[in-house]
Chain A
Amino acid sequence: MKRLFLVLALLAPAACRKDAVETRRVPKEGSAAAPMSAAGGAPGGVHWKLPPGWKELAGNGMRAATFRLPQAAGKAEVSVVVLPGDVGGELANVNRWRGQLALPPVTEDGLADGRATVDSALGPIFVYDFTGGGEKKTRLCAGMARVSGTTWFFKLMGDDKAVAAAKPAFLKLLVGLTN
């Protein structure tokens, strides 16, 4: 029994191990957005290949990344936002975009009329293209993809003409998305 107590006495301090704050210097990590990276054991998030001339800026606020379009500097840009779950569903997001252009909301029945589908390695990406009213027309072309329990939003928004010019490259970017 003495030996048993000895073993238990040696093991007891381990049961009282305390977690502590630690500081270390580590190499910088890549900037690829990687939410829920542990889900399914897969590191990294969605990867893209930028069209010629486009520039990627670091994410900030809600954005995982921003793409600057030098051809339409100040007139249009692409934002990338990733959120867990379905973020309220397709209808809620479509109406949120329409609200940004001061357009009236659509119903579930009207969703399919405005939806285009792009095939990518991530699966189908639903694409919507809306143009606001008024003298200075603002246009929004957005794609949403479900990836491992998250929703990725790619939104090209800006001046109507600039968005129209950038749309083919934007759709090509969506087709080329991988994880």
Chain B
Amino acid sequence: MRRDDALGRAAAALGSMRLTAVCLSLLMLLVTMCTLLQVPLGTHLAVERTIRTFLIWWTPAGATIKLPVFPGGGLVGSLLLTNLLFAQFLKLERSRRKAGLWIAHLGLALLFVGEFATALFQVESQMPIEVGQTRDYSEDARLMELSVADVGDPAQDTVTTIPESLLKPGAEISDAALPFTLKIKRWYANSELGMRKPGDPPSEATAGVGADMAVRERPVLAVDDAQNAAALLVEARAGAESLGTFWASNALGAPQGFAREGRDWRLTLRPRRYYLPFSMTLKEFKHDVYPGTDIPKNFSSLVRLRDAGAGEDRDALIYMNHPLRYGGKAFYQASFGKDDRLSVFQVVRNPGWLIPYLSCALVALGMLMHFGLKLSASLRSAK
């Protein structure tokens, strides 16, 4: 029974077709904005700032404050889901006759939930691997981490990793695995590194590569094919004693570090790594073309998958649209290089990957049921 008070009217507004139309229009505008913003921002940042956010923010030139200027995909999606649920429960008849529509709407609602789950839980990274190489980790080049490795053992390194989110100027990082603390002095998401010239101010680094270098902050590059040269000025301290101040950067190849308590420590700023409990060896990469042309026909990678914990030791073929799904992750054939000696996998961990398939199946089942019932009723009345 419908209520005619304020609550009833609010519920009716939330379940109205008008709200559906407004939300769908906003979504179309958001998709257009996201597409246009991919040129200056790159795909990832454009999606983050328009679709996977509740509000789109804008900072006026020269200002430091951010102003909300448009609803983001998260807000519009939540409204649309609310609208769908209210419309379903307020308007749709609860009878066997409408069971198909109930199932189709449930499928649609599940699609929204699936997108929220993807936004919250999905982790994407890449695994570049050369023929003959074995890898047990993937990397996300958009995020950095500071690796502090005890390299004294000839067989293995003990590596402590500090994610980018903790590398804030002023932060002091200590850990049971480290017999010293790390004081973060500067963090540049992008920088220009060069050798110091006569007349340059003295380097803030007292040890390692950076003592001879000039490091300047630069605007962050967001486009897809650009790689930022992140730079971190970090001091290692044991009590009151300074073990050295270092410039670390993903753009530097030379190793640097210090000795402490008879152990050698090495500092490296590198793309964020996600270690796997299994390893993959690239046995073969194939780049097939249509005969007589350079047009690609297929890319495929034959890998050896080894997981001692699960007793797994087998070959797997990864090719276009046929990812390897293992250990909660999907490995897609994403790119290649180095005269076909290098294969690059997109590694996706998405616990909700089955939800879109389930929701599509539910929508299809619901529509089949609904139109099947209609058809059968129509046939009966025609007799």
Please list the residues of chain A having a beta carbon within 8 angstroms of any beta carbon in chain B.
1, 4, 7, 11, 14-15, 19-29, 33-45, 58-64, 81-85, 87-88, 92, 96, 149-150, 179
CB pair B157–A26 under 8 Å, yes or no, is: yes
- Find out whether the CB atom of B160 lies under 8 angstroms from the CB atom of A23: yes
A81 and B252 CA atoms in complex are apart in Å by 9
25 A-B residue pairs with Cβ-Cβ distance under 8 Å, sorted by A, are A4-B81, A4-B85, A11-B116, A11-B120, A19-B163, A19-B166, A23-B161, A24-B275, A26-B157, A26-B159, A26-B275, A27-B155, A29-B157, A33-B253, A33-B254, A35-B251, A37-B270, A40-B225, A41-B337, A43-B129, A43-B130, A58-B255, A61-B209, A63-B254, A64-B254
Among A28, A42, A83, contact of B337 (Cβ-Cβ < 8 Å) = A42
Question: What number of B residues sit within 8 Å (CB to CB) of A?
Answer: 61
Residues of B within 8 A of A1 (CB): 82, 85
Task: Indicate if the CB atoms of B130 and A83 lie closer than 8 Å.
Answer: no
A60–B266 Cα distance when bound, in Å, is: 11
A96 contact set on B, CB distance < 8 A: 195
- Answer whether residue B193 sits at the interface, using C-beta atoms and an 8 A cutoff: yes
Whether the Cβ atoms of A85 and B254 lie closer than 8 Å is no
Whether the Cβ atoms of A88 and B193 lie closer than 8 Å is no
Report chain A residues within 8 Å CB of B21: none
Known: A14-B121, A26-B157, A42-B337. A21 touches B255 (CB 8 A): no
Q: How far apart sit A153 and B352, CA to CA, in the bound complex (Å)?
A: 48
Q: How far is the CB of A75 from chain B (nearest CB, A)?
A: 24
Contact of A88 with B250 in the complex, beta carbons under 8 Å: no
- Verify B254–A62 contact, CB threshold 8 A: yes
B197 CB-CB contact with A under 8 Å: yes
Q: Is B235 an interface residue (CB 8 A)?
A: no
- The CB with the most chain A CB atoms within 10 A, among B117, B156, B163, B253, is that of B253
Are B157 and A28 within 8 A (Cβ)?
A: yes
B128 CB-CB contact with A under 8 Å: yes
* Given contact pairs A23-B160, A23-B177, A41-B126, A35 touches B253 in the complex (Cβ within 8 A): yes
A20 contact set on B, CB distance < 8 A = 163
Interface bits B177-220 vs A (CB < 8 Å: 1, else 0): 10000000000000011110100000000001100110000000
Q: Once the chains are docked, how many angstroms separate the CA of A46 from the CA of B161?
A: 26
Whole-angstrom distance from the CB of A32 to the nearest CB of chain B? Answer: 9
- Judge whether B342 and A26 touch: CB under 8 Å: no
B124-181: which residues lie under 8 A (CB-CB) from chain A? 126, 128-130, 133, 139, 141, 151, 154-166, 173, 175, 177
Residue of A with least CB distance to B255 = A59
Q: A62 to nearest B CB, angstroms?
A: 5
Q: Which of B141, B154, B335, B337 contacts A38 (CB 8 A)?
A: B141
CB distance from B192 to the nearest CB of A (A): 6
A-B residue pair count with CB separations less than 8 angstroms: 145
Flag whether B256 is at the interface (Cβ < 8 A): yes
- A34 and B249 alpha carbons, distance in the complex (Å): 12
Given contacts A11-B117, A88-B195, contact A38 B271 (CB under 8 A): yes
A33 CB contacts on chain B under 8 angstroms: 253-254
Contact of A35 among B128, B195, B225, B252 (CB under 8 A): B252
Complex contact A41–B344 (CB within 8 A): yes
By Cβ-Cβ distance, the 4 closest A-B pairs, closest first, are A38-B141, A33-B253, A35-B253, A19-B163
Q: Are A62 and B212 in contact (CB under 8 A)?
A: yes
How far is B121's CA from A38's CA once the two chains are assembled, in angstroms? 23
A contact residues around B158 at 8 Å (CB): 23-25
In the complex, residue of chain B having the shortest beta-carbon distance to the beta carbon of A22: B161
CB of B227 within 8 A of CB of A38, answer yes
Given contacts A21-B173, A87-B194, 13 further A-B contacts (CB under 8 A): A4-B85, A7-B116, A19-B164, A19-B165, A23-B161, A24-B158, A25-B158, A28-B154, A36-B229, A37-B128, A43-B128, A63-B254, A83-B193
- With A14-B121, A83-B193, A88-B197 as contacts: A41 and B335 at CB distance below 8 Å: yes
Contacts of B270 in A (CB 8 A): 37
What is the chain A residue whose CB lies nearest that of B164?
A19
Contact: A26 with B156, CB < 8 Å?
A: yes
Complex Cα distance, B175 from A11, in Å, reads: 30
Chain B residues within an 8 Å CB radius of A22: 160-161
List residues of chain A with CB within 8 A of the CB of B213.
Answer: 62
Contact partners of A64 in chain B: CB under 8 A: 253-254
For residue A15, which residues in chain B have a CB less than 8 angstroms away from its CB? Answer: 120
> In the bound complex, how far is the Cα of B165 from the Cα of A15, in angstroms?
15
Rounded to whole Å, the gap between the CB of A61 and the closest CB of chain B is: 6
Other-chain contact of B338, A25, A28, A179 (Cβ < 8 Å): A179
**Interface membership of chain B positions 232-252, coded 1 if the CB is closer than 8 angstroms to chain A and 0 otherwise:** 000000000000000001111
Given the complex of chains A and B, what is the CA–CA distance between A22 and B209 in angstroms?
25
Among B120, B227, B254, chain A packs the most CB atoms within 10 A around the CB of B254
Residues on B with beta carbons closer than 8 Å to the beta carbon of A179: 338
**Which residue of B81, B121, B250 is within 8 Å of A36 (Cβ)?**
B250
B162 close to A21 (CB less than 8 A): yes
CA of A58 to CA of B227, assembled, Å: 26
User: Which residues of chain B have C-beta atoms less than 8 A from A62's C-beta?
Assistant: 195, 209, 212-213, 254
Bound CA span A78–B172, Å:
39
